[in-house]
Amino acid sequence: MKQELLEKLDGYSDIMAKIETSRQEGSDFQELKGTVARYLEQLHPNQVNLELIEITEETESSRTLRFAAKEGNLPPFQAGQYIALHIDTGRIKTSRPYSISSPPSRKDYWDLTVQRVENGLVSNYLLDEVKTGDHFASSGPQGTFCFNPLIHDDNIVCLAGGSGVTPFLSMIREQVDKGSNRRIALLYGVREPKDAIFYDELISLAEKHDSIHFHPVFENPPDGFQGPTGYITADVIKKTIGDLEDKTFFICGPQAMYDFCLEQLKELKIPGRKIRREMYGAPANPWDCEGWPSEIPSDQSVSVTVTGARTVSCLSGESLLNVLEKNGLKIPAICRSGECSMCRVRLLKGKVFQPKGTLLRKSDRMFGFIHSCVSYPLTDVEIRL
């Protein structure tokens, strides 16, 4: 606007006089402009640039990758949170969520402990192909699978299966670092001792700290093993934990383990509000999920048309997110479990299968948005990104 016009506006000269006084008296708020946004960006960055600084072999099928910030500092996180690690394998650009296994008190690095998944794209890449000095990008820390002193009991019982032990390591290490009134009991179900990630560390921490209790539950126990065996049943929970009052239960592990443990906790009459569950990705076999139409085989060939881009073919059993990424169309994704909404696309034509429990907002349902990470094309579909 021209200066002459501005000067004619009501109150213009008063405002200018106030700005001038503020400048002279040292409270020119122009200096602070953007400060809040800068703080927020430091605390909750959209992207963190990382350098892989150390690799530790944990078991035959798992390793810990230690990452430092490539520049600046790592943003803070809460024990139990995860990051989405972006990967470029050369053939495909994708991402996977991994829980941070180091404690929040270690501000100079994040540890991710990755277990090999048979035929898994990223886990095998991270176990076999990466080396120290490699650079990666990730999301900032995400998720609410964390201890909240306002809601949770001070006694927490963690039920873990396989690599689901990783968020609990962060919680246990934090407890050891900080000390508090909290007590953590970990029941860790694995096939045999050689498969138990962090086994020696957990044994040693439990020996040294009264607030940490570690109960491995082996399917194939070694000779002479005195602890619980088989699965994490109601009976095993009751015998190892004793009094179940005033305890909050956290579960992290594969879907089958979660379903099983949930039944056991129900049998023990643990109220739902005392049970927290971490997501563990999209279902391994969506066609085995409740509601998958029995007449549609998982290998039925269908087409996916992306409005304004192109049409690609895929199988009904593949998630739309994987199909898009395979074809070089990268869309934002964080949890890959149907919870965070980042991967939303609009379904314009056709039918998709969405497993029971997929969290869609009412407005998403009304306007045809779906989470591409847990949507499987049952017919030819058209979507808009």
Ligand X SMILES: Cc1cc2nc3c(=O)[nH]c(=O)nc-3n(C[C@H](O)[C@H](O)[C@H](O)COP(=O)(O)OP(=O)(O)OC[C@H]3O[C@@H](n4cnc5c(N)ncnc54)[C@H](O)[C@@H]3O)c2cc1C
Work out the number of other CB atoms within 10 angstroms of the CB of residue 358.
16
Site for ligand X in 156-215 (CB under 6 A): 163, 166
Strand 247-252 versus strand 275-277 pairing type: parallel
Pick from 321, 337, 317: which is nearest to 329 by CA?
Answer: 321
Q: How many residues belong to the site for ligand X (CB under 6 A)?
A: 28
Shortest reach from residue 59's CB to ligand X, in Å:
11
In DSSP notation, 38-70 reads HHHHHHS-S-EEEEEEEEEEEETTEEEEEEEES
Q: What is the rounded distance in angstroms from the CA atom of residue 202 to the CA atom of residue 216?
A: 9
Interacting positions 347-376 with ligand FES (CB under 6 A): 371, 373
- Give the span between the Cα atoms of 383 and 372, in whole angstroms: 10
Exactly one of 74, 114, 257, 347 binds ligand X (CB under 6 A); that residue is 114
Judged on CB neighbours under 10 Å (0-12, 13-18, 19+), 304 is buried
Q: From ligand X, ligand FES, none, which one binds at residue 6 (CB under 5 to 8 Å depending on kind)? A: none
Q: Any contact of residue 324 with ligand FES (CB under 6 A)?
A: no
- Beta carbon of residue 337, minimum distance to ligand X (angstroms, whole number): 5
- Smallest gap from Cβ 224 to ligand X, in A, equals 30
Q: Which of 261, 270, 306, 343 binds ligand FES (CB under 6 A)?
A: 343
Select from 98, 188, 258, 369 the one that contacts ligand X (CB under 6 A).
Answer: 98
Piece in contact with ligand X (CB under 6 A), picked from 64-72, 110-118, 294-302, 345-353: 110-118
Shortest Å, Cβ 247 to ligand X: 23
Nearest-approach distance from CB 335 to ligand X, in angstroms: 6
In order, the DSSP letters of 273-298 are GGEEE----S-S-GGGSTT--TTS-T
Q: Please give the Cα distance from 224 to 263 (Å, whole number).
A: 30
Q: Tell whether residue 91 is a contact of ligand X (CB under 6 A).
A: no
Nearest to 156 by CA among 185, 188, 187: 185
Region from 10-18, 125-133, 228-236, 335-343 binding ligand FES, contact rule CB under 6 A: 335-343
**Residues near 314 by beta carbon (within 8 Å), at least 6 away in sequence:** 301, 302, 303, 304, 323, 326, 377
Instruction: Candidates 53-61, 124-132, 298-306, 332-340: pick the segment binding ligand FES (CB under 6 A).
Output: 332-340
Query: Rounded to the nearest whole angstrom, what is the least distance from the CB of residue 54 to ligand FES in the complex?
Result: 29
339 binds ligand FES (CB under 6 A): yes
How many whole angstroms separate alpha carbon 305 and alpha carbon 309?
Answer: 8
8 Å CB contact between 221 and 249: no
Min CB(333)–ligand X separation in Å = 11
Q: Which does 347 bind (CB under 5 to 8 A by kind): ligand FES, ligand X, none?
A: none
Contact positions vs ligand X (CB under 6 A): 82, 96-99, 113-115, 117, 119-124, 143, 163, 166, 254, 278-282, 284, 335-337
Binding site for ligand FES (CB under 6 A): 333-336, 338-343, 371, 373
